[in-house]
Chain A
Amino acid sequence: MNNLIVLPMVLPLLTGVFIVFFKSYIQVQRWGTFILLLVNVGISVIILRQIQIDGIISIDFGGWAAPFGILFVADSFAALLVLTTNIVSAICVLYAMPTIGKRRETFYFYPFVNFLVAGVNGSFLTGDIFNLFVTFEVMLLASYALITLGGTRLQLKESLKYIAINVVSSSLFLIAIAYLYGTLGTLNMAHLSMRIAESGQTPLLTVISLLFLIVFSLKSGLLLYQWLPGSYSTPPTAIAALFGALLTKVGIYALFRTFTLLFYHEQQITHTLIAIMAGVTLIGGCIGAIAYNNIRQIVAYNVVIAVGFILVGLAIMNTTAIEGAIYYLVHDMIVKALLFLLAGTMIYLTKSEKLDEMSGLIRNYPSLGWMFFITVLSLTGIPPLSGFIGKVLLGQGAIVAESYILLLLSFMSGFVVLYSLLRIFMSCFWGETIISEEEETPLSKKVIFPSAILVVLTFALGFGAESIAPYVQDAAYTLTNPSVYINAILPD
């Protein structure tokens, strides 16, 4: 039964390799990828339920027992994220089919998506910090290929920066791992946590933890987000949606993992720093979201705001706040994908990215307008929708911990999100209709259908918050009690 937790990474890898051989059979590539992702969704549901019954599941590769071999570990946090990843990527693939274009499809778009998903799932599931580096690289190499796929001038220019910054941060990651191995002599995360607890978090270890903080901040766009808006707004919509929904979240996951499992002893240094970084990220993201006139840039800056918001939960570091952050993380993966898809659809329909070149779209495309409006409400956290519960819990956590500045910043950012998106809504959907009915680009059902599924999901997550509550609570409990994780991996 434990072998199940390898599948979310292995299946996409195998499928990716398999469909490379079907270059000209696009249907095989399309539906192969889609069906695989659905299978993965099923597997992650089974894993999630299994964790509820048996506790944390782990598997030691090759039978090498825990501190010596490489292992995969699935706790509720990882399993929830794997589940959301596969759902969101399935929907992005569905959106890519009619929109991405034949050339990109024949040039291995689908295999790269498979490798990306493999890397993301692997990063969530691994229990070894060097293995985390490797799965990160799998994900990043696939993302390098995806971001340059098609090779327009702008794409090439922006991807240069994206790749350069990620290569440098990967080197920093390796340096941090080297120092960690040099001081503690192990790479297994549970074992690391145990040894840090035994020796106490010495100043040396705190410095290493700050190196990890820098690395994962670069990857997740916490404070060091300057590369993000440019590179997320150049690739085609389906790819941008995948990036916006998944890539920064992996960095966030790594931050949560390292700073709840490993470096949680010197919170007045590390977590204060995270709090400051999250606060500055919120402010910077808000300024960016208001400043631009280009829809793609506004949407990309909304990703930055969400990163700051979720990490406020980590900075506060009590069970309620972390629970809120996990809810918000799952919500954000779904809704950011939705936001990217809708913004991309608007650009596809009007052939323009500028706010002032669109007007009165609600008359041409009412369904699109309403979906966009629901997305805005969901992102702001209006009650029946999915953003609400995360915000409430995070707010409660902040009040309990008496971090009122973070509370203020994170809730003010909600207003800016509302303002920046309503600005898009008002100038693009309201006003005089400038496209006549004869001239309008027809909006095919295939294009709007994936967004509709995501809208349903955000409603479902909002109304069904109670049904995923046990999983989220278990995830938050495991994160705040490292001994649960350690005991599951190293029983003696």
Chain B
Amino acid sequence: METVIIIVAGVLVTVATYLLLSKNLIRVILGTAILTHAVHLLLMAMGGFKGESVPIISDKHTTYVDALPQALILTSIVISFAVTAFFLVLAYQVYKRTNTDDLSKLRGYRHE
């Protein structure tokens, strides 16, 4: 199971890298979103899937899955949600002000 998850995470990182390197602003933002998903999967795989049951103490099971990575993922999802939302709004503002979403036309300081 870990192997599958790791491979999926790797594929997602590849996709994210491709998107991040494109010139289209929306693609870059989607790239960052996918990258964080890949990281979440990696975190989950790092916790391992060895336990028999959810981490609630009961009589039937003796081993439990590690709950900590899930707490970390949950925190990180909330953060990445906020960041992506902010980033999308910013992209919209940039598009409204400059009429372009092409990053090569959005070069900064010296070209103003």
- Which residue of B is nearest A173, CB measured? B39
A154 contacts which chain B residues (CB < 8 A)? 108-109, 112
The 15 listed contacts between A and B (C-beta, < 8 Å) are: A130-B72, A134-B75, A134-B79, A141-B82, A144-B86, A144-B90, A157-B98, A160-B25, A160-B91, A163-B83, A167-B87, A170-B83, A178-B69, A182-B45, A294-B109
Digit string of A173-215 for contact with B (CB within 8 Å is 1, else 0)?
A: 0110111011000010000000000000000000000000000
- Which residue of B is nearest A180, CB measured? B46
- Which residue of A is nearest B87, CB measured? A163
Among candidates A133, A181, A229, residue contacting B46 with C-beta atoms closer than 8 Å: A181
- Say whether B32 contacts A159, CB under 8 Å: no
A163 contacts which chain B residues (CB < 8 A)? 83, 86-87, 90
- Say whether A181 contacts B98, CB under 8 Å: no
CA distance A366 to B25 in the complex (A): 47
Interface of A is mostly: helix
- Say whether B83 contacts A230, CB under 8 Å: no
CA distance A160 to B91 in the complex (A): 8
| Minimum distance in angstroms from A184 CB to a CB of chain B | 11
Q: How many residues of A contact B (CB 8 A)?
A: 38
- CB-based closest 9 A-B pairs: A182-B46, A178-B43, A167-B32, A174-B39, A178-B46, A158-B108, A171-B35, A156-B94, A137-B79
A164 contacts which chain B residues (CB < 8 A)? 20, 28, 32, 87
Digit string of B2-35 for contact with A (CB within 8 Å is 1, else 0)?
A: 0000000000000000001000010010001001
A171 contacts which chain B residues (CB < 8 A)? 32, 35-36, 38-39
Q: Provided the pairs A153-B97, A157-B94, A177-B72 are in contact, do residues A137 and B46 lie with their beta carbons within 8 angstroms?
A: no
B63 contacts which chain A residues (CB < 8 A)? none
B28 contacts which chain A residues (CB < 8 A)? 164
Among candidates B76, B90, B91, B109, residue contacting A234 with C-beta atoms closer than 8 Å: B109
B45 contacts which chain A residues (CB < 8 A)? 182
CA distance A179 to B35 in the complex (A): 16
- Interface status of B54 (Cβ within 8 A of chain A): no
With A157-B106, A182-B46 known, 13 other A-B pairs at CB within 8 A are A130-B75, A137-B79, A148-B90, A156-B97, A157-B107, A164-B32, A167-B87, A168-B35, A177-B43, A181-B69, A229-B109, A234-B109, A297-B109
A159 contacts which chain B residues (CB < 8 A)? 90
Q: Provided the pairs A141-B82, A157-B108 are in contact, do residues A178 and B42 lie with their beta carbons within 8 angstroms?
A: yes
> Which residues 35-84 of B have a CB within 8 angstroms of A?
35-36, 38-39, 42-43, 45-47, 68-69, 72, 75-76, 79, 82-83
B91 contacts which chain A residues (CB < 8 A)? 160
| Minimum distance in angstroms from B68 CB to a CB of chain A | 7
- Interface status of A145 (Cβ within 8 A of chain B): yes
- Which residue of B is nearest A134, CB measured? B75
Among candidates B25, B42, B86, B107, residue contacting A145 with C-beta atoms closer than 8 Å: B86
Interface of B is mostly: helix
Task: Kindly name the residue among B36, B72, B107 whose own CB sees the greatest number of chain A CB atoms within 10 A.
Answer: B72
- Interface status of A470 (Cβ within 8 A of chain B): no
| Minimum distance in angstroms from B34 CB to a CB of chain A | 10
Q: Provided the pairs A134-B75, A156-B93, A160-B94 are in contact, do residues A230 and B32 lie with their beta carbons within 8 angstroms?
A: no
A156 contacts which chain B residues (CB < 8 A)? 90, 93-94, 97-98
- Say whether B90 contacts A230, CB under 8 Å: no
CA distance A154 to B111 in the complex (A): 10
Among candidates A133, A151, A168, residue contacting B93 with C-beta atoms closer than 8 Å: A151
B69 contacts which chain A residues (CB < 8 A)? 178, 181
CA distance A234 to B106 in the complex (A): 14
- Say whether A233 contacts B90, CB under 8 Å: no
B75 contacts which chain A residues (CB < 8 A)? 130, 134
A181 contacts which chain B residues (CB < 8 A)? 43, 46-47, 68-69, 72
| Minimum distance in angstroms from A287 CB to a CB of chain B | 15
| Minimum distance in angstroms from B91 CB to a CB of chain A | 8
- Interface status of A446 (Cβ within 8 A of chain B): no
CA distance A168 to B42 in the complex (A): 15
- Interface status of A161 (Cβ within 8 A of chain B): yes
Among candidates A140, A145, A151, residue contacting B97 with C-beta atoms closer than 8 Å: A151
A178 contacts which chain B residues (CB < 8 A)? 39, 42-43, 46, 69
- Which residue of A is nearest B34, CB measured? A171
- Which residue of A is nearest B2, CB measured? A182
Digit string of A131-145 for contact with B (CB within 8 Å is 1, else 0)?
A: 001100100110011
CA distance A160 to B20 in the complex (A): 13
| Minimum distance in angstroms from A352 CB to a CB of chain B | 14
- Which residue of B is nearest A144, CB measured? B86
CA distance A153 to B98 in the complex (A): 7
- Which residue of A is nearest B107, CB measured? A157
CA distance A174 to B76 in the complex (A): 8
